[in-house]
Amino acid sequence: MTEARPGFGAGEYARRWEALQARMAAAKQDALYAATDHALTELRPGMTAQGAHRLLTDSLRTHGATPCGGRLGHGLGVTLTEWPSCTNRDTTVLRENMVLTLEPGVEIAPGKIMVHEENIVLRADGPELLSPRAPCDLPEIEI
């Protein structure tokens, strides 16, 4: 677990783009973005990692996407991927100032997934982003 304190940094965030057939992935991107927004609005200290998982999976399903991957976020610290794990089994209570990732993922084609990731510090009044928010549109690169 890492706590965010003045003068210290934490870093791990992913930005993605689609080089081929971006239009096919756009609806999934919208669901991922909406799920992350939902968690950014609703997540609070005192909830569990399991509760964070539920926020993300429920929102993905509401937006027509099927969650994939067992862990949809985790603690962020010295070893990058740390406890707690946002799974349907982790009952760890999330505390104020924990540094976490929100990483909802969906399958976009057989064997291919898309993950949206944001790093946060969990403050008393909700998540604080540690990096600029990813754009809601999926950038398309012509090759």
Q: Residue 128 has which token pair? A: 């604080």
> How far are the Cα atoms of 6, 100, 123 from residue 138, in angstroms, in the given order?
33, 23, 29
Tens digit of each residue's pLDDT (9 = 90 or more) over 90-116 = 999 999 999 999 999 998 888 888 898
140: tokens are 């398309």
Residue 138 lies in a domain: no
Contact 97, 33 (CB under 8 A): no
19 pLDDT band, cuts 50/70/90, is very low
Q: 23-32, 69-78, 101-110: lowest mean pLDDT where?
A: 23-32
What total number of domains does the chain contain? 1
Q: How many CB atoms lie within 10 A of CB 10?
A: 20
* Residue 12 placed within a domain: no
**Is pLDDT above 80 for 15?**
no
Q: Is the pLDDT of residue 119 over 90?
A: yes
The answer to whether residue 54 is domain-embedded is yes
The pLDDT value recorded for residue 8 is 47
Residue 74, domain member (yes or no): yes
Q: What is the model's pLDDT at position 80?
A: 75
How many Cβ atoms from other residues are within 10 Å of residue 28's Cβ?
23
Which residues constitute the domain of residue 109? Answer: 22-129
Is the CB of residue 75 less than 8 Å from the CB of residue 82? Answer: yes
Evaluate whether 86 touches 73 at the Cβ level (below 8 Å): yes
* In the chain, % of residues over pLDDT 90: 56
* pLDDT confidence tier of residue 53, bands split at 50, 70 and 90: very high
The structure tokens listed for 82 are 């740390």
For residue 58, the Cα-to-chain-centroid distance in whole angstroms is 13
pLDDT at 110: 84
Residue 87 lies in a domain: yes
Instruction: Write the single-letter amino acid at 38.
Output: H
At 87, which CATH number?
Answer: 3.90.230.10
Residue 71 lies in a domain: yes
Looking at the domain assignment, is residue 125 inside a domain? Answer: yes
Query: pTM of the prediction?
Result: 0.81
- 87 pLDDT higher than 70: yes
Alpha-helical (H) ranges within 43-102 are: 49-62
Average pLDDT, the chain: 85
Which whole number is the average pLDDT over 18-47?
84
- Does position 47 have pLDDT exceeding 50, yes or no? yes
